[in-house]
Amino acid sequence: MRNEKPSASHFSFLTSHSFPVMRVLPQIIAVTAVPGLSPTGNLVWLGLRLADGRTAWGEWANVPDAQTAGQTVQQQVAPLLQGQPFTSFQEWMTRLDSLTEKVVVTRVVKPETAATGATISRRGLITGGLAAERPKMIQSVEERPLFPALRFALSQALLHAFALSRNSTPTAVLVEEYGLAVPETAVPLQVEATESNIALIRPILATHVAALSYDTGTARSGSGFTEHQATLGANAERLQRYVRQVKEWLTASTAAQPAIHLNLQGGFTELYANNAGKLLGALYGLEQAAKPYPLLVENVVGGDFPAVRQTLQQLHNYLHLRRMTTQLAAGYSLFAPEELRELGDGTAVHHLHLHPAQFGSLHENIQFILACQERGIGVTVHADGQMVETAVTLALITHAHTLSGRPDKIYNEMIKMLEILRY
């Protein structure tokens, strides 16, 4: 039950008797996980209720199982946060990021055959048991960090709680907590080159657009798999033709020099089987087609990550030796967060494309982006759905290389945020 509001006479009594005034620090008294609906998965809305009755919400977490996520929040997160004073956002985030949960993992174990040295029984030969053998499914329980989207949503809610407790804005809290420079200018945009987007960005193309992007993975076959050869051409000739068309349009339409950004979704693996020499030749052809505009190629190859990393490292070295200007990028649409972390060492790619909610908490995103910048790696922050405001904040305070997403939403949110910071 909510306490009754103290009367004026009550305060008069306190003042007349000169009792010391105690300042009560805001605290979190309850943690709420509310399930939502989404066509792409289970949503959980996370709220932190403060002692003054206000609630700070994380925008949402797209998790594999909303019920399990809710239980994790109540069992793991609530005991950590409830009743604690607001001290340091970084300190609280370090605690949250250290939390773990038990996850049931299913692994496929291939059956042994004659080729692997297994002995085939006489009965097995007679009954055809060998042909009928199927991979075994083995389940085990592992302890892992909380799901990345859950960590991100929790960090959003915690950031908003800190902002409420200080009567401040989330952006100002992060700037102060991490000792960052207050952003004064907008982050340049990376815009997907569709007809509707081009119409939207015409007024800012020369001033705020750093790259026009083309995602070759959007063309799919009836079975749902991308047919890269049909999209790109057997020797990437169709892709070269597209790049020339973009160059001609840019030359005729604007004096701006945005980069031409191609997301191949691993497509060159299908064309060149990760042969570094052939890949370099294809990139050289694309670079010539794009000149004088800079060329950035994301997710060039795919497949087994150790092999992909080795191929990217070879390409990275070849580009440097050949004094080519093409730059390599790796992005969230093809690589898992742990793979992007490995590629952040600067030996395989020049740029990384992060989806903050897929990568982890705000703290993890900030620390990783700043570390990448120290190594000379550019980072593009992607903003979509309900997380636009937080992603734009992240891009602004870290002075990210570019910001991707729906151009009208991210640009308008960014301009609004910059205006708030000025006053």
212-260 tens-digit pLDDT:
999 987 544 444 445 788 889 888 999 999 999 999 999 988 888 999 9
Q: Is 336 a residue whose pLDDT tops 50? A: yes
Tokens of 174: 């992060």
Length of the chain: 423
Contacts of 12 (CB under 8 A, 6+ apart): none
Q: Is 14 a residue whose pLDDT tops 60? A: no
Strand positions, DSSP E, 95-168: 100-109, 136-145
What pLDDT does 220 receive?
44
Q: Which of 32-36, 183-187, 299-303 comes out lowest in average pLDDT?
A: 32-36
Q: What pTM does this model have?
A: 0.84
Q: Which of 38-52, 150-164, 324-338, 400-414 comes out lowest in average pLDDT?
A: 38-52
281-289, Cβ contacts within 8 angstroms, sequence gap of 24 or more? 282/235, 282/236, 283/315, 283/319, 283/324, 283/326, 284/322, 284/324, 284/326, 285/236, 285/240, 286/236, 286/239, 286/240, 286/243, 286/262, 286/326, 287/324, 287/325, 287/326, 289/240, 289/243, 289/244, 289/247
158-168 tens-digit pLDDT:
999 999 999 99
What pLDDT does 262 receive?
97
Q: Is 113 a residue whose pLDDT tops 70? A: no
Helix/strand/coil for 329: strand
3-state helix, strand, coil in the chain (%, to 5): 50, 20, 30
Measured CA distances, 140 to 76, 102, 104, 105 (Å)? 21, 10, 6, 5
* Domain 24-99, CATH among 3.30.390.10, 2.40.160.40, 3.40.50.11290, 3.30.1360.10: 3.30.390.10
What average pLDDT does this structure show over 84-110? 83
Q: Is 58 a residue whose pLDDT tops 90? A: no
What average pLDDT does this structure show over 271-288? 94
Fold of 175-422: TIM Barrel (3.20.20)
Q: How confident is the model at residue 192 (pLDDT cuts 50, 70, 90)?
A: very high
Q: Are 276 and 314 in contact (CB under 8 A)?
A: yes
123-146 tens-digit pLDDT:
554 445 544 566 677 766 678 899
Q: Which one has a higher pLDDT value, 116 or 206?
A: 206
Q: Is 4 a residue whose pLDDT tops 60? A: no
Helix/strand/coil for 293: coil
Distance CA 356, CA 337 (A): 10
388-402 tens-digit pLDDT:
999 999 999 999 999
Distance CA 103, CA 408 (A): 39
Q: Is 23 a residue whose pLDDT tops 90? A: no
Q: Is 293 a residue whose pLDDT tops 90? A: yes
Average pLDDT, rounded, for the chain:
85
Tokens of 41: 């998965």
What pLDDT does 128 receive?
52
Q: Where are the domains positioned within the chain?
A: 24-99, 104-141, 175-422
What average pLDDT does this structure show over 349-374? 97
Distance CA 84, CA 96 (A): 13
What pLDDT does 108 receive?
65
Strand positions, DSSP E, 73-229: 100-109, 136-145, 189-192, 209-215
What pLDDT does 387 receive?
86
Q: Is 21 a residue whose pLDDT tops 70? A: no
